[in-house]
Amino acid sequence: MEAFQALRSVLPLAFSSGINLYLTILVVGLSVRFGWVPNAPPGLDVFAALPMLIGAGIFYILEFFADKIQFVDNLWDIIHTFIRPVGAVIIATASLTGIEAEVLDATAGMVGVDPGTGIVAAVIAGGVALISHGGKTGTRTAVNITSPAENLSNIVISLLEDLLVAVVVFLALLFPLAANVLSVTLLVVIVIFVPLLLRWSWFTAGALLARLKAVAHKVQQPDRLPPEHAALLSGQTPRLVSRCRAQNIRQMSGRRGYLVLVADTLTFTYSRWFRLRAWSLERERITSVALHRRTLLLVLEVHYRNERQQPHTVRFVFTRDREPLVARFAEQVAVSEQLPAESR
């Protein structure tokens, strides 16, 4: 029974490690040390040792606070890109320590398990942790980009993540089947959205470098619109052009492209499925414009009415070194139509 429980616990423990490695170790160690979980895999005893619990506790406290500060959580996640998957591999290996022979004897005739069971489990654990880590990192990035500095989103999301990790770990030790169902379901959701989440993660990494560069140099002149993108403007001459990412429009959310201001239209050109596309908004439909200055990023928020005359908002996200250029976008869109404009 211990052998089967150990194998069934590998995936959910790896999933929780990708979100919060130190809390995973802490919950496993405390559960084993105080006997909260009967028949726990013997290899997990190593996490019940007092030095291990103290170390995991210290690092969990550090993560508890770092995870709730805007953009500090992103930096913490970047540092842990390799630490969490490696930690998941260690936990998977430890859970199978001392019982692999039992696993082979009990399952070889039924499912053909070979001596590489431990290696396969470790590889799976590392991959699962990397996926869940990518999901967490990308989600945090997307939230930080659009949330004001005083927003409580980081705190709420961090607490929910800690709760999820605790639940998954307890289920992995007590009810492995339920833990696997929950973990696989969440992994599928993450995999579906991981391209979008990774786009925001890479963008934030670039934004950090741009923030440092902005100290010495800021972009004043419009970008040069590539000819293939210019072809989408139907011969119109752009007044302003800047690279950015779009958000809040389903078909282009998170995609990189060029925001273009022409005489009567605001256009975003981008690539999707290896084809260039253009999203356009007539100036007469715009109701207001706002420029929000975040720690690492600038968000140009455009409020407008869609085809059904319903209010909607689209956001264009820029790196901080483009502040003069983005300010020109906000001013010209607002001034040309005498729109309400705000900047903060």
Which three-class secondary structure state does DSSP give residue 175? coil
Residue-level pLDDT, tens digit, the chain, 344 residues: 444 455 688 999 999 999 999 999 999 999 999 989 887 777 888 999 999 999 999 999 999 999 988 878 888 998 999 999 999 999 988 887 755 444 445 444 433 444 466 777 888 899 999 999 988 988 887 777 666 655 677 888 999 999 999 999 999 999 989 999 999 999 999 888 877 777 766 777 777 778 778 888 898 999 999 999 999 998 899 999 999 999 888 888 778 999 999 988 999 999 988 899 999 999 889 999 999 888 778 899 999 998 888 999 999 999 989 999 999 999 988 765 455 555 55
pLDDT at 296: 77
CA pair distance 110, 215, nearest whole angstrom: 64
CA pair distance 29, 91, nearest whole angstrom: 11
Compute how many other C-beta atoms are within 10 angstroms of the C-beta atom of residue 259. Answer: 26
CA pair distance 269, 233, nearest whole angstrom: 9
CA pair distance 53, 32, nearest whole angstrom: 11
Q: Give the chain's domains with CATH numbers.
A: 2-210 (no CATH), 227-343 (2.30.29.30)
pLDDT at 285: 93
Pick left, alpha or beta for residue 39 (phi over 0 → left; psi -120 to 50 → alpha; otherwise beta).
Answer: left
